[in-house]
Chains A and B, each alone.
Chain A
Amino acid sequence: AQSVAQPEDQVNVAEGNPLTVKCTYSVSGNPYLFWYVQYPNRGLQFLLKYITGDNLVKGSYGFEAEFNKSQTSFHLKKPSALVSDSALYFCAVSSGSSNTGKLIFGQGTTLQVKP
């Protein structure tokens, strides 16, 4: 069965510092991995995805994520955090072998960036 784990409920960083939001996954076959961000009272907004190819994926707002097959991880990173990055972040996975659009989401990690 597919699953996603986001081991940290909350990540706190100071503005200007690098940030990492962790994600590990379990899936049969090749994984398709996604990151979404949710601001208060808003829908989920797509940040980036890994389908195949280069393990380092660049996305919106300066975010990037690195696919690590051996560690089954897809951590979200940003070199320099902004206060406006404070939000709820979701990692999600679908399976390339199941050939469906079914996404499994992690529980979410709240990112708090302090000035």
Chain B
Amino acid sequence: TQLLEQSPQFLSIQEGENLTVYCNSSSVFSSLQWYRQEPGEGPVLLVTVVTGGEVKKLKRLTFQFGDARKDSSLHITAAQPGDTGLYLCAGGYPDFGNEKLTFGTGTRLTIIP
């Protein structure tokens, strides 16, 4: 069973602050996705990273894929209340046919106005 750990599990910060959340595995990913999920809704895809060392930016969000493709981070600059939600990372593993996504337990982010 592939394990994908996310940290922290919960994060509550003031509007305007910066934050970083982490996603780690002992196995190599073929690709990794970050999703955001609102209560009662399905996950919404934010970004896909596939190359070791890759950095992608989405407005105030910066995603980084580790050189060894075993870990990833999401950095949010100047957090806003609209960033509140559950952030999930999900990996595809080549040894498992790459079809199913294995999800972490998520980081529940609350931005306080």
Q: Do A and B come from one complex?
A: no
Residues of A near any B CB (own CB < 8 A): none
Residues of B near any A CB (own CB < 8 A): none
